[in-house]
Amino acid sequence: MELVGAPAEALTRRVYNVAAVSPRADEIAQALARRYPGFRVEYDPDFRQEIVDSWPPALDDAPARRDWGWRHEYDLERMTDALIEEITGRTRGPAT
């Protein structure tokens, strides 16, 4: 909606990359463990890991930030809290 509402004269292109948090599986597990002591996760990467490894390390969203003020709202901690709330229907704290 921000892009749609941006003044046309400010836009230098019609397609923009937008980037925010892009955590690894171990970072998500650590964020959950901070909220649920004793939480553990085990995972075994398969052939799809090669696909992910071929992606660029980050998207360049500088034009979106410059042209129409793109800013992400979530970091890993806020994303984790929002996901827990969505899944459990409650705010931070261990599930019962």
pTM of the model: 0.67
Whether 96 maps to a domain, the answer reads no
- Within-domain flag for 95: no
Closest CA to 95 of 38, 20, 19: 38
CA gap 46, 74 in Å, rounded: 28
Tens digits of residue pLDDT in 74-88: 999 999 999 999 999
**Residue 67, domain extent:** 2-88
Residue 94 lies in a domain: no
Inside any domain, residue 93: no
Could you give the angle at the alpha carbon of 70 between the alpha carbons of 66 and 64, nearest 5°?
A: 45
Per-block mean pLDDT, blocks of 10 residues, the chain (96 long): 90 89 90 94 89 85 93 93 90 55
- DSSP E strands, 15-76: none
What's the structural domain count of the chain? 1
